[in-house]
Amino acid sequence: MHKFLFFLLIFFNFSFALVIEFKEERYLYALDNSIYKKGFIEFKENSIKTWYKNSKETLYFKNDKLYKIKDKEQIELNNIAAKIYFLILEGIFHNNSNVINKFFIQEKQNDLILLAPKEIISKYMQKVEYKKKKEKLIFLKIYLHNNDRIIIEQTN
């Protein structure tokens, strides 16, 4: 009986995870160059984990804390911009307007959602744009103040 309950618990833990595959372009204005990567984002009820193909490093966000995991070593990061990135992902994928409205003013233009950062995070980014079709992220564009930008597209 205990084994059955254990396997049932494991099954439910994994069955509520959503894993998406994505491609990313990071445009670096100072170098006028783009870097392209492919990776995965795993959404669970209270956490988000992201990693890139061919990388041994994972970023893990839970309870407003960000961790880098590499070679089984976990290091807490105090990178505000990266935390904001994970909060954006949480708000978009969980359709959590409370998270989005805490940091952004939303404007909808047809299927495109524009997010203007509120003062609390305006020094980290200029704007965010995204488009979803049902539950699939068509794109997420994050524009930074130094004219760099990050573009993410879900590929599965």
What does the domain layout of the chain look like in residue ranges? Answer: 20-154
Least confident residue range of 2-6, 37-41, 100-104: 2-6
Mean pLDDT of the 11-29 span: 80
Q: Which residues contact 100 (CB under 8 A, 6 or more apart)?
A: 88, 91, 92, 106, 115
Q: What is the pLDDT of residue 24?
A: 97
CA distance 80 to 78: 6
Q: Is the pTM of this model over 0.85?
A: no
Q: Does 143 have pLDDT greater than 50?
A: yes
Q: Which residues pair with 105 in a beta bridge?
A: 116
pLDDT category of residue 16 using cuts at 50, 70 and 90 = low
**Which CATH superfamily, name and number, covers 20-154?**
Lipoprotein localisation LolA/LolB/LppX (2.50.20.10)
